[in-house]
Amino acid sequence: MKDIITAVSPTHATQILQLKEARATDDDLQPLLAEAITHSYFQEGGTTRKVLRADFTDVVWLDISF
C-alpha cells in the first residue's frame, strides 16, 4: 500500500469536479483520477517520464480535498 499526496492540475481538478457534480460513480471517476495523479505525481507535472502510465487498481481508500 502506498499513500500518495499530490496537487493535481487545475484542468484535472475542474474535470473531476464537473464529473462529481454530474453524479459520476467511482468507476466513472477512476480513469480521470488515475490520469491526474499520474500526471502530477509520477510525471512531475509533465516534465519527466511522459511515456509512463500508471493503473490504479484495488483502491481501498481515497481522500480528495479541494
Query: Which residue range is the domain that position 20 belongs to?
Result: 10-46
Task: With a cut of 80, say whether residue 64 has pLDDT above it.
Answer: no
Evaluate whether residue 39 is within a structural domain.
yes
Evaluate whether residue 21 is within a structural domain.
yes
Evaluate whether residue 51 is within a structural domain.
no
Task: For residues 41-49, give the mean pLDDT.
Answer: 70
Evaluate whether residue 62 is within a structural domain.
no
Tell me the C-alpha distance between 66 and 56, whole Å. Answer: 21
pLDDT of residue 2: 75
> How many domains are there within the chain?
1
| Residue range 4-33, pLDDT digits in tens | 888 888 999 999 899 989 999 888 888 898
Report residue 47's pLDDT band, with 50, 70 and 90 as the boundaries. low
Evaluate whether residue 3 is within a structural domain.
no
pLDDT of residue 42: 80
Evaluate whether residue 38 is within a structural domain.
yes
Tell me the C-alpha distance between 66 and 15, whole Å. Answer: 13
